[in-house]
Protein backbone atom coordinates (compact mmCIF):
# COMPACT_ATOMS: atom_id res chain seq x y z
CA UNK A 1 0.00 0.00 0.00
CA UNK A 2 1.26 3.46 -0.94
CA UNK A 3 1.28 6.29 1.51
CA UNK A 4 0.42 9.77 0.44
CA UNK A 5 3.36 12.04 0.91
CA UNK A 6 3.65 15.81 0.87
CA UNK A 7 5.40 15.49 -2.45
CA UNK A 8 2.46 13.60 -3.97
CA UNK A 9 -0.03 16.09 -2.58
CA UNK A 10 2.00 18.94 -4.03
CA UNK A 11 2.12 17.27 -7.45
CA UNK A 12 -1.61 16.59 -7.42
CA UNK A 13 -2.28 20.19 -6.37
CA UNK A 14 -0.12 21.56 -9.19
CA UNK A 15 -1.84 19.39 -11.79
CA UNK A 16 -5.25 20.46 -10.48
CA UNK A 17 -4.30 24.16 -10.52
CA UNK A 18 -2.94 23.92 -14.07
CA UNK A 19 -6.10 22.22 -15.29
CA UNK A 20 -8.36 24.69 -13.47
CA UNK A 21 -6.36 27.71 -14.72
CA UNK A 22 -6.46 26.50 -18.32
CA UNK A 23 -10.22 26.11 -18.03
CA UNK A 24 -10.65 29.66 -16.70
CA UNK A 25 -8.47 31.19 -19.42
CA UNK A 26 -10.33 29.29 -22.13
CA UNK A 27 -13.66 30.61 -20.84
CA UNK A 28 -12.34 34.16 -20.64
CA UNK A 29 -11.05 34.02 -24.22
CA UNK A 30 -14.42 32.72 -25.44
CA UNK A 31 -16.10 35.83 -24.02
CA UNK A 32 -13.92 38.25 -26.00
CA UNK A 33 -15.61 38.92 -29.32
CA UNK A 34 -14.82 41.06 -32.34
CA UNK A 35 -17.50 42.71 -34.45
CA UNK A 36 -17.03 44.56 -37.71
CA UNK A 37 -19.85 47.06 -38.06
CA UNK A 38 -20.69 48.68 -41.38
CA UNK A 39 -21.16 52.43 -41.26
CA UNK A 40 -21.05 55.48 -43.52
CA UNK A 41 -18.17 57.90 -43.06
CA UNK A 42 -18.34 61.06 -45.14
CA UNK A 43 -14.89 62.46 -44.52
CA UNK A 44 -11.40 61.02 -44.32
CA UNK A 45 -10.53 62.46 -40.93
CA UNK A 46 -13.42 61.35 -38.69
CA UNK A 47 -11.11 59.18 -36.65
CA UNK A 48 -8.75 62.07 -35.93
CA UNK A 49 -10.86 65.23 -35.80
CA UNK A 50 -11.69 66.73 -32.40
CA UNK A 51 -15.44 66.39 -32.69
CA UNK A 52 -15.76 62.90 -34.15
CA UNK A 53 -12.53 61.12 -33.31
CA UNK A 54 -12.78 61.87 -29.61
CA UNK A 55 -16.31 60.49 -29.59
CA UNK A 56 -15.08 57.07 -30.65
CA UNK A 57 -12.36 57.15 -28.04
CA UNK A 58 -14.34 58.65 -25.15
CA UNK A 59 -17.90 57.45 -25.58
CA UNK A 60 -17.31 53.93 -26.82
CA UNK A 61 -14.53 53.21 -24.35
CA UNK A 62 -16.83 54.40 -21.54
CA UNK A 63 -19.05 51.41 -22.23
CA UNK A 64 -18.03 48.67 -19.85
CA UNK A 65 -16.58 45.71 -21.73
CA UNK A 66 -15.29 47.50 -24.84
CA UNK A 67 -11.63 46.65 -25.23
CA UNK A 68 -10.69 48.16 -28.59
CA UNK A 69 -12.21 50.31 -31.33
CA UNK A 70 -10.76 50.74 -34.82
CA UNK A 71 -12.34 53.00 -37.42
CA UNK A 72 -11.54 52.27 -41.07
CA UNK A 73 -12.76 55.25 -43.09
CA UNK A 74 -11.88 53.66 -46.43
CA UNK A 75 -13.70 50.39 -45.73
CA UNK A 76 -16.42 52.31 -43.84
CA UNK A 77 -16.29 49.94 -40.90
CA UNK A 78 -15.89 50.17 -37.15
CA UNK A 79 -14.23 47.13 -35.59
CA UNK A 80 -14.99 46.62 -31.92
CA UNK A 81 -13.39 44.09 -29.58
CA UNK A 82 -15.59 43.57 -26.54
CA UNK A 83 -16.25 41.29 -23.58
CA UNK A 84 -19.64 39.68 -24.18
CA UNK A 85 -20.15 39.19 -20.43
CA UNK A 86 -20.21 42.96 -19.93
CA UNK A 87 -21.89 44.32 -23.06
CA UNK A 88 -23.46 43.07 -26.26
CA UNK A 89 -23.38 43.95 -29.93
CA UNK A 90 -26.80 45.62 -29.92
CA UNK A 91 -25.73 48.04 -27.15
CA UNK A 92 -22.57 48.88 -29.07
CA UNK A 93 -24.54 49.58 -32.26
CA UNK A 94 -26.91 51.89 -30.37
CA UNK A 95 -23.91 53.76 -28.91
CA UNK A 96 -22.46 54.22 -32.40
CA UNK A 97 -25.85 55.42 -33.62
CA UNK A 98 -25.94 58.00 -30.82
CA UNK A 99 -22.54 59.27 -32.02
CA UNK A 100 -24.13 60.14 -35.36
CA UNK A 101 -23.10 57.12 -37.43
CA UNK A 102 -25.01 54.21 -38.90
CA UNK A 103 -24.22 50.87 -37.29
CA UNK A 104 -25.21 48.06 -39.64
CA UNK A 105 -29.02 48.13 -39.66
CA UNK A 106 -29.33 50.84 -36.99
CA UNK A 107 -29.46 54.34 -38.49
CA UNK A 108 -27.60 57.26 -36.97
CA UNK A 109 -29.68 59.20 -34.46
CA UNK A 110 -30.65 62.75 -35.50
CA UNK A 111 -29.26 64.06 -32.18
CA UNK A 112 -25.91 62.40 -32.86
CA UNK A 113 -25.76 63.73 -36.42
CA UNK A 114 -26.48 67.26 -35.18
CA UNK A 115 -23.36 67.12 -32.96
CA UNK A 116 -20.99 66.18 -35.81
CA UNK A 117 -18.79 68.62 -37.73
CA UNK A 118 -20.30 69.76 -41.03
CA UNK A 119 -17.96 67.59 -43.12
CA UNK A 120 -18.95 64.49 -41.18
CA UNK A 121 -22.69 64.91 -41.58
CA UNK A 122 -24.74 63.18 -44.21
pLDDT digits (tens, 9 = 90+) for 5-15: 666 667 666 75
pLDDT digits (tens, 9 = 90+) for 51-104: 666 677 778 888 899 999 988 878 989 999 999 999 999 999 999 999 889 999
Q: Which of these CATH numbers, 3.90.1150.10, 3.40.50.300, 3.30.70.100, 3.40.50.460, describes 32-120?
A: 3.30.70.100
pLDDT tens profile 29-59? 688 999 999 998 877 665 566 666 667 777 8
**CA-angle at 11, arms to 7 and 16, nearest 5°:** 145
For residues 42 and 119, the answer to whether their CB atoms sit within 8 Å is yes
Query: For the chain, which residues make up each domain, given as ranges?
Result: 32-120
Residue 88 has a pLDDT of: 94
Answer with the residue of higher pLDDT: 111 or 115: 111
The predicted structure's pLDDT at residue 104: 95
Q: How far is CA 18 from CA 10, 28, 44, in A?
A: 12, 15, 49
Q: In what order do the strands lie in the sheet with 77-83?
A: 32-38, 77-83, 66-72
Task: List residues bridging with 49 in a β-sheet.
Answer: none
Mean pLDDT of 100-117: 90
Q: Does the pLDDT of residue 16 top 90, yes or no? A: no
Amino acid sequence: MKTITKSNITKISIVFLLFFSASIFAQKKDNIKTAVIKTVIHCDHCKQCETCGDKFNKDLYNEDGIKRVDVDAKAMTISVVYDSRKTDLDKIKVLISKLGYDADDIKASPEGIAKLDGCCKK
